[in-house]
A and B are shown apart, each in its own frame.
Chain A
Amino acid sequence: QKEVEQDPGPLSVPEGAIVSLNCTYSNSAFQYFMWYRQYSRKGPELLMYTYSSGNKEDGRFTAQVDKSSKYISLFIRDSQPSDSATYLCAMSKLDDKIIFGKGTRLHILP
């Protein structure tokens, strides 16, 4: 079993819809949970992170972590065509290297 599992998609949704992206993981020692966005031919950029369990909101983006289920989610409200990208979940233990998921390709249809 891979440490981090993420459905590669592609996921296509109409503009304005709520998008839900998810990852599962196996290592209960992970403490930091991150979401990166990667546009085509670019490096990943950090969108947001959470520490341990709980929710975090930043504008149209909400990250959720459920450590009991080893499940993390990213919600995008009022999705825009500019949100079309690959979204990578990532996680790490304290002061350790980051482990990335495969990424989910998201297409927002105008």
Chain B
Amino acid sequence: DTGVSQDPRHKITKRGQNVTFRCDPISEHNRLYWYRQTLGQGPEFLTYFQNEAQLEKSRLLSNRFSAERPKGSFSTLEIQRTEQGDSAMYLCASSKTGTTPDTQYFGPGTRLTVL
């Protein structure tokens, strides 16, 4: 049983560098979500895709952040010119349309540390 996978699990970078994370959803899931979680907080919604279309972006997602899901399968989240405030856990989740409520399955996350 392959759940949601994320790569890398940990990333340490210097301020100003660009980073890219990858998420592979559960294979039959057409919805894919990105969240950010900081210490002591719940996940905060960043953006979501249905198939290859990016349907919603949070105001939290500054223009340094970009997400893609080119073939409706895996997705990437890129952060350009990283800042120390970007340090967080980046979680990916996937779900299938037609489930009520939208039952999302989460990956293990990518922990980003910006020095």
Contact = CB atoms under 8 A, between A and B. Distances in A.
Contact of A42 (B43, B101, B105, B108): B108
Given A8-B40, A102-B41, A46 B102 contact: no
B65 interface: no
Contacts, number: 53
Interface in A83-101: 88, 90, 92, 95, 97-101
Interface in B76-115: 91, 93, 100-109
Contact of A43 (B41, B56, B101, B108): B108
Contacts of A88: 42-43
Interface size class of B (residues with CB under 8 A): 20 to 34
Interface string A69-110: 000000000000000000010101001011111110000000
Which interface residue of B4, B56, B101, B109 has the most chain A CB atoms within 10 A? B101
Interface size class of A (residues with CB under 8 A): 20 to 34
A90 B45 contact: no
B48 interface: yes
Contacts of B41: 102-103
B106 A92 contact: no
A45 interface: yes
Interface of A: 4, 6, 8, 32, 34, 41-46, 49, 51, 88, 90, 92, 95, 97-103
Interface of B: 4, 33, 40-45, 48, 56, 91, 93, 100-109
